[in-house]
Structure 1
Amino acid sequence: MGNGRFSSSDWDGFSTSSTVGRSTREIFTASKLHDNLNPALARNLTREARDSASNPNSTPLIVGLDVTGSMHRIPDYMVRDGLPVLFKNIYDRQPVPDPQIMFAGIGDVVYDRAPLQVSQFEADISIAEQLKDLYLEGGGGPNRSESYPLVWYFAGMHTSTDSFEKRKKKGYLFTIGDEMAPESITAAEIEKVMGVRPQQDFLTTDLLDLASRAWNVFHITIEEGFNYRHMKNSVRSNWAGLLGERALFLSDYTKLSELIVSTIQISEGESAETVADSWSGDTALVIRESTRGLSKSNGSGKGVTRF
């Protein structure tokens, strides 16, 4: 997938027809998992990011959004404002070429009916339509975590990209939410999502290693989220222990796209200070704080610091 290019005129048409004057419920109308987003129905259980005439050097990005009750503001922000900011700034700043984005919806595999949803990789306005198809289930549970590592499993086992297979260039994977990661994901839980049972249970660290073979893995914690505000120290410790400097914390969710772009810029070799200074006003302040300590990716291996 990944033909075409994202354009402001296409975005204006999408916004006029789909989001302007509409509430979150009027935009995200799905009452169950959409077949097109069901990982168990993915063609050959794989999502592909391929080079094309319009995107000859494709760079795959996975953006995993927590769709439980406390995080509904994040997909709403992305479908109204965040998506064009993300594409425009990657095009303008050019930290990587030819972005192709896959959105994932993340819930709780223990309690939710749709704990993982996955779009195709797209480079044009069709990704906005797929984003709008996300089922905002709400849900979650009392276990103080969401199943973010399901995205790592899917990325490691069920994605195929020309970027890595032709050029040995890793893609970028961001999960976003306000809770901790679980310690493990069982084979039975993966079967619930994928319809195919693996031969073993996985520790979360195993899934991180699996995804990190072909993906630069980051997690962004939304500090405005209910769960973060009530379990700040536990959440910070959990993600820092897993990802080190790649555990990012964002004080203003309306700067999410800017943080994703900034993280890619820094990982591709720009200094964190220079990147923060390239933004204006409050955005510069937020990005500076969120990327403090983040440094260039080594582009190979896991690129993850364990505490």
Structure 2
Amino acid sequence: MERMHPMGRGRFSSTDWDIFSSATTTGRSTREIFTAATLQDNLNPARARNLTREARDSASNPHSTPLIVGLDVTGSMHRIPDYMVRDGLPVLFKTIYDRKPVPDPQIMFAGIGDVVYDRAPLQVSQFEADISIAQQLKGLYLEGGGGANASESYPLVWYFAGMHTSTDSFEKRRKKGYLFTIGDEMAPDSITADQIQKVMGIRPQQDFLTSELLDLASQAWNVFHITIEEGSNYRRMPNRVRANWTDLLGQRALFLSDYRKLSELIVSTIQILEGESAEMVAGSWAGETAQVIRESTRGLSSNDGRRKWSPHF
């Protein structure tokens, strides 16, 4: 398989963030930040069909830990990429650096839509360890689509992670990366071969149940989904959304009452999976953040009972 030039060199710094923020987000609306009017070539997964998104060790990141953050970019969820590009990204990097649940984070962002209705249902950045990930994040096309089918195509990220990523963390150290999808809708029951062809430009030999795509991604990734309770779809049908994700992911289905605590929840989840107790992690945050994280991670542990991967593929 042909490979992209390995990314993920350098380190995220406050100085670089301040320069980026001042030039890009300060005093600007969401529309003024996310200016892409269509899917950008560098984020187009069809251009990765014979390639791999790589997270590699380097002199500045000798024990790289890959992290995929998949953001729902449909109309009801525009606040999430906006939050991440203004506030969430520096919190995510700095808190991982400070708390050290894992070493040397390298982040890949994905934009998620609806493969049935949208022109750009999946967008994928490179893995990056420095400010260049912010530039790729702001390049996401906020299509604002979605449809009336009560789901978004979150499992497309699982397919991409399972088939089109390569990491030193797993290949050298047998250490899984972390994959989070974020949104307010349910997962679909399946993703068809035709739908994958629409996104990737090539057609796999089979349709996939969503549970099969979860198993595929789980070979090399700890997979989570975070439901944003402030989203309009969740507010309309909270019981259905909760049941859908809990049936699929068990305790790795997380529910967040305040989207402004998204980065803290991601870091807290990694801390817990790496062996810290949920209560101690929640108590380590100040003020109302502690209660938000406590509610979101209640019952989560490093031995969370997620079914083991079975070799269907």
Fold match by TM threshold 0.5? yes
Where 2:180 maps in the other structure, the secondary structure is strand
CA RMSD of aligned residues (A): 1.5
Where 1:137 maps in the other structure, the secondary structure is coil
Q: 1:302 offset after TM fit, Å?
A: 3.4
Give the equivalent residue in structure 2 for 1:176: 182
Structure 2: tracts of 5 or more residues without a match: 1-6
- Read off the aligned partner of 1:112 and give its amino acid letter: D
Give the equivalent residue in structure 1 for 2:265: 259
5 Å-filtered alignment, 1:291-306, equals: 291-297=297-303, 302=308
Counterpart CA distance in 1 for 2:273 and 2:285 is 17
Say whether residues 1:193 and 2:203 are aligned partners.
no
Where 1:45 maps in the other structure, the secondary structure is coil
User: Residue 142 of structure 1: which of 144, 148, 158 is its match?
Assistant: 148
Give the equivalent residue in structure 2 for 1:12: 18
Give the equivalent residue in structure 1 for 2:212: 206
Distance 1:179 1:2, change over 3 A: same
Where 1:104 maps in the other structure, the secondary structure is strand
Give the equivalent residue in structure 1 for 2:249: 243
Give the equivalent residue in structure 2 for 1:108: 114
Judge conservation of contact 1:39–1:45 (CA < 8 Å) in 2.
Answer: no
Give the equivalent residue in structure 2 for 1:157: 163
Say whether residues 1:222 and 2:224 are aligned partners.
no
Where 1:105 maps in the other structure, the secondary structure is strand
Q: 1:297 offset after TM fit, Å?
A: 4.7
TM-superposition CA deviations, 1:250-269 (whole Å, max 9, x none): 00000000000000000000
Counterpart CA distance in 2 for 1:124 and 1:23 is 24
* TM-score (norm. length: structure 2): 0.95
- Read off the aligned partner of 1:150 and give its amino acid letter: L
Distance 1:245 1:301, change over 3 A: closer
Counterpart CA distance in 1 for 2:94 and 2:302 is 22
5 Å-filtered alignment, 1:59-74, equals: 59-74=65-80
Judge conservation of contact 1:69–1:137 (CA < 8 Å) in 2.
Answer: yes
Where 2:292 maps in the other structure, the secondary structure is helix
Counterpart CA distance in 1 for 2:304 and 2:169 is 16
Compare 257-266 and 40-49 and name the one that shifted more. Answer: 40-49
Where 1:151 maps in the other structure, the secondary structure is helix
TM-superposition CA deviations, 1:152-179 (whole Å, max 9, x none): 0000000000000000000000000000
Q: 1:194 offset after TM fit, Å?
A: 0.3
Judge conservation of contact 1:213–1:301 (CA < 8 Å) in 2.
Answer: no
> Quick one: percent identity of the two aligned structures?
84
* TM-score (norm. length: structure 1): 0.97
Q: 1:46 offset after TM fit, Å?
A: 1.3
Structure 1: tracts of 5 or more residues without a match: none
Counterpart CA distance in 1 for 2:77 and 2:119 is 17
TM-superposition CA deviations, 1:73-126 (whole Å, max 9, x none): 000000000000000000000000000000000000000000000000000000
Judge conservation of contact 2:48–2:200 (CA < 8 Å) in 1.
Answer: no
Q: 1:303 offset after TM fit, Å?
A: 7.6
Distance 1:19 1:158, change over 3 A: same
